[in-house]
Each structure stands twice: as structure tokens, then as C-alpha cells.
Amino acid sequence: MTAPSMLASLSPLPVLASDRFACDVARAAIGALYAEVMLEAKPGLVTRRSNGSHRDMNAVLFMRSLFSLRHYFARIARAGEQGATFGGLQRLGIDAERAMLRATRGVNTHRGAIFTLGLLAAAAGALHAQGARLDANAICATVSDRYGSAILATRVDALPSHGTHASAVHCVEGAREVAARGFRVLRETAMPMLEGAIALGASRERAAVQTLFAVMSVLDDTNLYHRGGATGADFVKRETRAFLAAGGVFAPDWRLRAASLDAAFVQRNLSPGGAADILAAALFLHALRALYPR
């Protein structure tokens, strides 16, 4: 799943964020994205020690990108609190994407996060304004209920991208469809796996890796379809399911098996960027729930 570009000829929405809630949302979002990039044992993805299957990205570039987004998540959370339409959220996403591209000199490091975590942050803001509980299911449902129709409507004017091409060719959902339908894999796979692994005593690192593999095992990731076609996408699902069936991160040799898969992904030029975005989203929602447990 590659996120649609939010770039369009729209003026910025003048939303300022200074309250505690918006800042909490921003810290949770940036913290989740930082945790994702710092996580090791991510086949084909950028880590501190490896560029994975990427020639134009590394961890330092991701840090520059994260710094450029430090105000975005607070602003979009406040916009959600204030009842902004999807058009208003989109204008904030445009500014964030431009800032990212300036910081990375044109490399798309966090477009998926700008789209996915931005929508979740806005939905959290909308719920917070109502005094509602910041439950992961409620936040995902709010994205679908409040913004879903407008998200899907943007497909008409969407610029061609690797994601839209892969979605059309392979008949799989793109980022717009995933968001408009309430992030099913995030709700039904990522969050239960993350919380379940933690409940079983897994460290944050192991719980995150287990969650990433669970997401890879079910997600129709257009990043993978673009890079490896249906054969590559099927390979990722098959191998990650085998990893989980053998015990996942609870098996004694899990690091060696994850490293072997990393080598296999890199050899095939596969990078599950959509799964990484879902992992970051799960870490974000988990952190937000810890901050606002009621």
C-alpha cells in the first residue's frame, strides 16, 4: 500500500496547535515513526544498519524527514478537534509533504505516514473534542465515517503513481481504499498482535517485529506488487506466515530467521513499505491509548 500524494494546488490551512492534547498526539506519532525506523529485523526495510532494498534512503534521511514533520501531527490533530473537512486535512498534508521533500531533497520517505498517521491523528482529535475514548477501533471507524467518502472522491483527480498503477493492475486496494474502509488490517491484525505480544511478555522490540510480520502475512501491499509483482507479494506472505507458524519472535532462532528473510527480500528488491506504515500506526495508537486510557 503506497499512500496517494496529497500534493495539489491548494493554499495552506491556518491551524495552530499549542494545547496539550495536540502536542501529545504529535509526540506519539513522531515517537512511533522513530521506533519503526530504529527497529531491526525488518526484511527489506531501512534500519540503522542497512538500507534494505533501497538505494536512495537510509536512517539519517529518515531522521531529517521526521524532523520536518514535527509540527504536522499536532496541527492535524487540532484540525480534527475543530471539525475540519477532509479538504482541510489535505491542505495540511500538502504542506507536510512539501516540507518532507525539501528535507530529503525529493526522496519520498514518509508519504505513507503523512497520509495514514495524519488521518488517525485527525480522527483522534475529533473524538477528543467529543470527550470520547481514544480506542483504536473508534479512531479507525472515525476515519471511515467522517472522511471516507471524501477520500475515495479524490481518486478521480489522482495523479498516476506506482501505488495506483499496482492497485489497478493487480486488483488490490490502494491507500485510499484502505483508509476509507477504516484500516481493517490495522484493526484486525496489527493491534491485536501488538497488544497480545506485549501481554505475553515480549519486549517492545519483539512485539513490534511480531506485529510487522503479522501485517506482512495478510496485507496486499502495493509497494510489493510494484517492486515484485504478484510473485513477489505472494513470496512475502508465504514466508512471513511460515515465520509466524514457527513461533515468530518467541522462537529461539527468530533473529537468524528474520535476517535470512531480509537477505531474500533484498535479493528480490522487495520492500514492504505499506506494512511498515501499518506498524507505525499501531505503535501510534498504542501510545495514544496509554496517554489517554479512559
Per-residue confidence of the chain (294 residues) as pLDDT tens digits? 445 544 433 333 344 434 899 999 999 999 999 999 999 999 999 999 998 999 899 999 999 999 999 999 999 999 999 999 999 999 999 999 999 999 999 999 999 999 999 999 999 999 999 999 999 999 999 999 999 999 999 875 666 666 777 777 877 888 999 999 999 999 999 999 999 999 999 999 999 999 999 999 999 999 899 999 999 999 999 999 999 999 999 999 999 999 999 999 999 999 999 999 999 999 999 999 999 987
Q: How many domains is the chain built from?
A: 1
Domain assignment present for 11: no
Domain assignment present for 12: no
Residue 168: what pLDDT? 73
Structural domain boundaries enclosing 199: 20-291
State the CATH number of the domain containing residue 102.
Answer: 1.10.4200
Q: Are 5 and 161 in contact (CB under 8 A)?
A: yes
Domain assignment present for 8: no
- Size of the chain in residues: 294
Domain assignment present for 10: no
**Sign of the dihedral defined by the CA atoms of residues 84, 182, 6, 114, in that order:** positive
Which of 104, 131, 117, 108 is CA-nearest to residue 75? 117
Domain assignment present for 209: yes
Alpha helices of the chain — where are they, by DSSP H? 20-38, 59-68, 72-81, 86-104, 111-129, 136-142, 148-153, 162-170, 175-180, 184-185, 191-199, 204-216, 222-245, 254-267, 273-291
